[in-house]
Each structure stands twice: as structure tokens, then as C-alpha cells.
């Protein structure tokens, strides 16, 4: 199967091409089969490759397949080549399998949309671009996939383009992420200047020989790559585009948040971990950005009433946990949380899509309520996803993936009390906003009638993802529980182990009990404030400072307003000034002069005979006069 690695990429792109060329002439059923079926075939190919990769003897560390040489200019000849190792295999399985479930769900969710085939064409391109990103063996091909997911996100966030607000959200996502992309591109130029290649494995081998630990060049390159990662993964300070990206259909949100775009930054940092380990300051910056982002986004999620915006801020916060893990050198812990997060976040977005569609596109949670008995499958699966997000102890996958990060932020060699405290506070906030969302949406009195119930193509993905959100964590258990480390063992040939401080092992039980208590206490606080005694929230909101803090968090800590004041408005002001500059006026004068001459000369051919005779007489008189004078 290693020789058929290219099939994983080929199926999504083939489906997209067929849908783009023949989509309007295809029936919806055929378009759905092509759109979802091509991703399903890609998932089957990925699983077949994964089985061979895992069971082959002797165990391979990677598969490499060169498809063709891209170009050859002055000795620079990047290839279209695929590199599959344990890290990229985890991403490929998540992208194709979760992507297929989202496609299957979409065949029913988008059934009445007039642009049905265009939707699946864009979704297939999105999956294909992300697969290019994670399978590329060189940074130039990776960058092609990187920009591909940016383009597809623009197409899908603005999918319902007739609403100007959706077009604005799509442009905002595209432009904000371009800021990070520019930094990343400069980083790639520096890497090529240093090593004469963009081949990832060659850079990893040469970097340790060329750069000493703490090298200023390594630090610069790592910070530039980090700039690209924070843009794509919506981390501080480029997190502002993701909440507005909820303008797209719910399956798009699920795909962006679970399997594609926002995870690209996590992949980039992990793939280039050799460079970051040579730049400890940059790696510490990754951890600090992650810790600050998870707190800022978590507080914003507490104040949102739009169901999808709660989940959007939640994604920013959970990606913050992944960045924190990567900054600590806990590479496999960060990737483990990425995988588990993909399961429960896809589940929550798809569940939110069902609720919103059932209530006639109502997004406001305060206008929902009372759905747990009317939509039991949706309620129980959404509850499981929420419990996993809140890291309910022992029974959910989210507990095992988040607990690793909490533990290593305290006991890891690069851990500290400050980072641990931030992670712990973030866990408490996560529990509160998650179960606030559950209690307001599914409990209490019903405020909006249900107009649509989901069919099997929408509920089946919810059930599958709910099961994974429960059992997915048992492939990596803490050392003090069962010493079962299947996931980290699988990644060990690619990613180094994290080092725990001496004599800290015996504290792991205490840290786990603290993490469990924090998670449960957050759920209890949400229960008291939003289910048992909602009057407490109302009285709290009436106080001035609480209202001011609520508005501040609700507005995303004012980052949009700050960027508007510092960047957007000055740019628009200068652009308006520039529209009337001297050069512009010169060209306007030329245009006016040409139009005047045109009008004057047009009078000589207006079809009026006496004007022609007058012209002939005046011309003859002028010629005679000149003849006499000269």
C-alpha cells in the first residue's frame, strides 16, 4: 500500500474536479455520492496504509513517495513528494475519517441548499489541501497546502455570499491569516538561505549541526514560523477571525475546527520541532501564547449567547492547550489532545448544527431550552461531547488528553507554577462555559418550536463521534493508572519524550485529583448559576462592574476594536486620501480632455448639411487668407 500513498490525496481532488466541472448537471444524490464517497475512499486508503505501516516487519519509520519533480531553477528543484511517518499518519487518519463523517452529515444538512454541488466541491478541496499540507516532504509543498486551506476557508466561510456579513467574515479570515502567512514565508526564505533546501528531513538533520542551542538565527526562524502558526490556529494575537468564521454552514465550522485549518499551526510547530528545540526562547513563547490564549478565549466563551460562537471560542482555548503542550516539549501530549479534540469538537459542532436547523436557524441559546426530551439522541451525544470537553474524570477521552498537559505544565522540565495555574484556571472556565451551554440549550422550558428533526445521515456521525469521545482516551493512560502508552509509543520514532523533573512522579496522583476536582466544581458552578438558581446570574449582571466585564469579554477583550483603531481605520483613511492624489487627478484631467475633444469632433459628423457647408466655407476662407498672407 505504500506505493498507493498518492491515492489518499487523489480521491478528494478527483471528487472536487468532477463536482466543479459537472456539478450543475448532476442530481443531488449523485453529487452527494461523489462528494462524501471520495472522502470515504480516501479514509479507506488511509486506514489501509496505516495498517500496513503499523504491522510491517521490520517496522518502517516512514514511507516516502516521489510523484514528480516540480521545477528546477538554479539548482533549486523541489519535488511533489509525500512523506508519511507516525505524526503525519495521525493527522491523515483524523482528517479523512472525521472529514468523511462531516461529509456524510452534510449530505442531509445541505440537502435543500441551491448550491449543493459547489458546497461539496469546496469541502473536498479543503480536505485535499489539508492532506497536501500534512503529507508534504518539503516546506514549499507544505506551503502550497497551507495556502490552499486558506483559500478554501474563504470560499466556505463566505459560502452564503448573498449576505454581505458572510462576505465580510470570509475576507476577515483571509486577511488576518495572511499576516501570519507572510511571517512564515519570510521564515521559509531564511531556511533556504541557511540550508539551500526546503526538504523537511534534510533541514532537521542539518539544523542541529549548523545552529547551536540559542542561536539567534534559529530563534528568528522559529518566531517567524510561530507567526504563521498563530495565524492559522487563531492564537493570540491573531485569534480575532475565528469567531466571525461561524458565518459558514455548521459542517464547515466542524471541518475547520476539528480536522483542517486551525490544526495546521499545531502540525507546523510539531513538524519543525527540531528548530524550536534549538530556540528555547521561541519554544517558551509558544507555551506562554498558549496559556494566555486559553484564558482569554475561555473568558469570552463564558459570555456568548450564540451557540456556535461559544464553540468557536472553545476551539481557540483548546488549541491554546495544544500550544502550551508544544511549548513544554510535550509533543505527543499536544498531538494526543489534537486527536481527542477533533472527536468531541466535531461532535459538538455537528450537534449544534442539528439544534440550529431544528429551531429554524436560531443561534441564540437563550431562545432554545427544553430539547433534551424532544431530541434525546442529540442531547445525549452533545452531553458526551461536552463532558469530554470539560474533561469529566475517568470516563471521557478529554480527561486523559487534558490531564497530561496539566500534569506536564507542572512537572515537566519546562513547566512552572505559572503555566500550571493558567492551565488549571482554564480547565475550570472550560467546565463552566461548557455546561452553561448544555443547561441553557437542553434544559428548562422550550422557547422555540422544533420545525425539523434530523435523519439517520445526521445522527449516525453524532453517535460514532460520541463513542470516540468516550473511548478514544484509553489508548494513552497516565503512568500511575495503567502505564498504557500506546499513542506516545507510536509517535516516539518521530517526536522526543518530555522529561519530568526529578522526584515529581509521586505527586501525579495529587495533581490528577486536583484536576478532577476543578472539572467537577466547574460543572457544579454552572449547575447552580444556570439551572438551579438563574436569579443569581441576573442579579450579578445588574451590577456595574460585572456588566462592564461582561461586555469586555463578550467583545473578545477588545481586540477587534483595537485593530480597527490602530490598523483598519488609518488604512481606510489613507486609502481615501490616496484616491484623490495628484497622479489620480492627472489621469482624470486626461480623461476629461479626451471626452471634450471627442464631443467637439463629433459635431463635425452630426449629419446636418448646413454645418458641413459652413465648415467648407470657413475652411476655404482660411486657406485663401493664408495664401494671400503667405
**Domain span holding position 52:** 1-189
300 assigned to some structural domain: no
Assess whether 459 and 591 both reside in one domain.
no
Same domain, 161 and 15: yes
Q: Residue with C-alpha cell 449516525?
A: 460
Residue 200 inside a domain? The answer is no
How many domains in the chain? 3
pLDDT tens digit string along 287-307?
999 999 999 999 999 999 999
Report whether 134 contacts 92 (CB < 8 A): yes
Letter string b/e over residues 53-89, b meaning 16 or more CB atoms within 10 A of that residue's CB? beeeeeeeebbebeeeebeeeeeeebbbbbbbbbbbb
Between helices 86-109 and 250-258, what is the axis angle to 10°? 170
pLDDT bin (cut points 50, 70, 90) of residue 67 is very high
Task: Taking residues 270-276, report their average pLDDT.
Answer: 96
C-alpha cell at 333: 501530549
Asked if residue 272 belongs to a domain, the reply is: no
Q: Is residue 460 part of a domain?
A: yes
What is the band of 1 on the pLDDT scale with cuts at 50, 70, 90?
low
Question: pLDDT: is 315 or 540 the higher one?
Answer: 315
One domain for residues 32 and 139: yes
pLDDT in tens, 336-395: 999 999 999 999 999 999 999 999 999 999 999 999 999 999 999 999 999 999 999 999
Residue 63: strand pairing partners: 84
Question: What pLDDT, on a 0 to 100 scale, did the predictor assign at position 584?
Answer: 78
Residues 493, 591, single domain; the answer is no
Residue 627: per-residue pLDDT: 86
For the chain, helix (H) and strand (E) counts, in that order, are: 27, 2
Question: Any idea what DSSP says for residue 568?
Answer: I
Cell matching residue 424 = 488549571
From 138, 165, 189, give the residue that closes a domain: 189
DSSP for 492-540, please give it. Answer: TTTSPPPPBPTT-GGGHHHHHHHHHHHHHHHHHHHHIIIII-HHHHHHH
pTM of the predicted model as reported, rounded to 2 decimal places: 0.91
Instruction: Judge if 480 and 364 occupy the same domain.
Output: yes
Q: What is the mean pLDDT of the chain?
A: 93
The residue among 358, 346, 268 whose CA lies nearest residue 314 is 346
Q: Is the pLDDT assigned to residue 414 strictly greater than 90?
A: yes
Do 591 and 497 belong to one domain? no
Angle at 381 between CA 339 and CA 461, to 5 degrees: 65
pLDDT band at 456, cuts 50/70/90? Answer: very high
Q: Are 476 and 605 part of one and the same domain?
A: no
CA dihedral 222, 233, 391, 253 (to 10 degrees): -160
Q: What percent of the chain has pLDDT over 90?
A: 82
pLDDT at res. 9: 94
Quick check: 579 pLDDT over 80?
no
Average pLDDT of 281-291?
A: 97
Amino acid 570: pLDDT: 93
pLDDT above 90: residue 605: no
User: Final residue of a domain: which of 160, 189, 218?
Assistant: 189
Same structural domain for residues 1 and 75? yes
Residue 306 lies in a domain: no
The residue-averaged pLDDT of 211-233 equals: 96
Phi, psi of 84, rounded to the nearest 5 degrees: -120, 115
Tell me, what's the pLDDT at 504?
Answer: 87
What is the model's pLDDT at position 412? 93
Would residue 24 count as lying in a domain? yes
pLDDT of residue 611: 81
pLDDT of residue 581: 74
- Which pLDDT tens digit goes with each residue over 11-21? 999 999 999 99
119 secondary structure, DSSP code: H
State pLDDT tens for residues 48-58: 999 999 988 77
Question: Is 407 in the same domain as 512?
Answer: yes
Torsion of CA 393, 397, 403, 405, to 10 degrees: -160
- Placement of cell 478527483 in the chain: 14
Q: What is the pLDDT of residue 574?
A: 87
Cα four-point dihedral sign 228, 234, 237, 241: positive
Same domain? For 414 and 489 the reply is yes
**Within a domain: residue 541?**
no
Say whether the peptide bond before residue 237 is cis (omega within 30 degrees of 0): yes
Is the pLDDT at 105 greater than 80, yes or no? yes
User: Per the domain annotation, does 395 fall within a domain?
Assistant: yes
Answer yes or no: do 105 and 48 share one domain: yes
* Predicted pLDDT at 231: 96
Q: Name the domain boundary from 189, 207, 242.
A: 189
Based on the fold, state whether residues 593 and 491 are members of the same structural domain.
no
pLDDT recorded at residue 255: 94
Higher pLDDT, 611 or 85: 85
Give the three cell numbers for residue 61: 519509520
Given a cut of 80, is residue 552 above it in pLDDT?
A: yes
- Please name the helix (run of DSSP H) or strand (run of DSSP E) that holds residue 578, with its range, or none: helix 569-578
Amino acid at each position: 500500500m505504500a506505493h498507493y500513498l498518492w491515492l489518499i490525496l487523489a480521491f478528494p481532488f478527483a471528487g472536487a474536479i468532477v463536482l466543479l466541472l459537472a456539478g450543475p448537471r448532476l442530481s443531488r444524490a449523485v453529487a452527494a455520492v461523489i462528494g462524501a464517497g471520495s472522502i470515504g475512499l480516501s479514509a479507506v486508503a488511509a486506514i489501509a496504509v496505516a495498517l500496513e505501516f503499523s504491522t510491517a516487519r521490520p517496522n518502517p519509520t516512514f514511507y516516502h513517495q516521489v510523484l514528480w519533480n516540480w521545477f528546477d531553477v538554479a539548482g533549486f528543484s523541489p519535488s511533489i513528494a509525500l512523506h508519511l511517518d507516525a505524526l503525519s499518519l495521525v493527522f491523515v487518519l483524523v482528517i479523512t475519517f472525521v472529514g468523511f463523517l462531516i461529509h456524510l452529515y452534510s449530505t442531509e444538512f445541505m440537502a435543500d441548499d441551491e448550491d449543493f454541488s459547489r458546497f461539496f466541491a469546496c469541502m473536498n478541496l479543503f480536505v485535499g489541501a489539508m492532506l497536501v499540507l500534512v503529507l508534504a516532504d518539503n516546506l514549499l509543498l507544505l506551503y502550497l497546502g497551507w495556502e490552499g486551506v486558506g483559500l478554501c476557508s474563504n470560499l466556505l466561510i463566505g459560502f452564503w455570499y448573498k449576505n454581505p456579513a458572510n462576505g465580510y467574515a470570509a475576507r476577515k479570515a483571509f486577511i488576518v491569516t495572511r499576516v501570519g502567512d507572510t511571517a512564515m514565508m519570510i521564515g521559509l526564505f531564511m531556511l533556504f538561505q541557511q540550508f539551500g533546501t526546503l526538504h523537511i528531513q534534510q533541514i532537521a538533520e542539518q539544523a542541529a549541526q549548523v545552529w547551536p542551542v540559542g542561536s539567534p538565527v534559529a530563534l528568528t526562524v522559529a518566531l517567524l514560523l510561530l507567526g504563521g502558526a498563530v495565524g492559522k490556529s487563531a492564537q493570540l494575537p491573531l485569534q480575532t477571525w475565528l469567531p466571525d468564521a461561524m458565518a459558514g454552514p455548521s459542517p464547515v465550522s466542524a471541518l475547520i475546527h476539528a480536522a483542517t485549518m486551525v490544526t495546521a499551526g499545531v502540525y507546523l510547530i510539531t513538524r519543525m520541532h527540531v528548530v524550536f528545540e534549538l530556540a528555547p526562547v521561541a519554544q517558551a513563547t509558544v507555551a506562554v501564547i498558549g496559556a494566555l490564549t486559553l484564558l482569554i478565549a475561555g473568558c469570552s466563551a463564558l459570555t456568548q449567547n450564540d451557540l456556535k460562537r461559544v464553540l468557536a471560542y472553545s476551539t481557540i482555548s483548546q488549541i491554546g492547550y495544544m500550544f502550551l503542550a508544544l511549548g513544554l516539549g510535550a509533543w505527543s501530549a499536544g498531538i494526543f489532545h489534537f486527536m481527542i479534540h477533533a472527536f468531541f469538537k466535531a461532535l459538538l459542532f455537528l450537534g449544534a448544527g442539528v439544534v440550529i436547523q431544528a429551531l429554524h436557524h436560531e443561534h441564540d441559546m437563550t431562545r432554545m431550552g427544553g430539547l433534551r426530551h424532544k431530541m434525546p439522541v442529540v442531547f445525549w451525544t452533545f452531553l458526551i461531547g461536552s463532558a469530554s470537553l470539560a474533561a469529566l474524570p475517568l470516563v471521557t477521552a478529554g480527561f486523559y488528553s487534558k490531564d497530561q498537559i496539566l500534569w506536564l505544565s507542572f512537572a515537566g522540565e519546562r513547566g512552572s507554577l505559572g503555566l500550571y495555574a493558567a492551565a488549571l484556571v482554564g480547565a475550570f472556565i472550560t467546565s463552566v462555559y461548557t455546561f452553561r451551554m448544555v443547561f441553557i440549550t437542553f434544559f428548562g422550558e422550550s422557547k422555540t418550536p422544533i420545525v425539523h428533526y434530523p435523519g439517520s445521515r445526521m445522527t449516525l456521525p453524532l453517535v460514532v463521534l460520541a463513542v470516540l469521545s468516550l473511548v478514544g482516551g484509553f489508548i494513552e493512560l497516565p503512568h500511575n493508572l495503567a502505564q498504557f502508552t500506546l499513542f506516545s509509543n507510536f509517535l516516539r520514532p518521530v517526536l522526543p519524550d518530555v522529561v519530568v523533573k526529578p522526584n515529581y512522579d509521586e505527586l501525579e496522583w495529587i495533581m490528577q485529583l486536583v484536576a478532577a476536582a476543578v472539572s467537577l466544581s466547574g460543572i457544579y458552578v454552572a449547575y447552580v448559576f444556570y439551572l438551579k438558581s438563574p436569579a443569581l446570574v441576573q442579579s450579578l449582571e445588574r451590577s456595574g462592574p460585572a456588566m462592564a466585564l461582561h461586555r469586555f469579554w463578550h467583545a473578545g477583550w477588545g481586540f477587534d476594536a483595537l485593530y480597527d483603531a490602530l490598523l483598519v481605520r488609518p488604512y481606510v483613511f489613507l486609502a481615501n486620501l490616496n484616491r484623490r492624489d495628484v497622479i489620480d487627478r492627472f489621469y482624470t484631467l486626461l480623461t476629461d480632455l479626451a471626452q471634450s475633444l471627442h464631443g467637439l469632433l463629433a459635431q463635425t459628423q452630426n449629419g446636418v448639411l448646413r454645418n458641413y457647408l459652413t465648415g467648407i466655407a470657413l475652411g476655404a476662407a482660411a486657406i485663401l487668407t493664408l495664401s494671400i498672407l503667405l
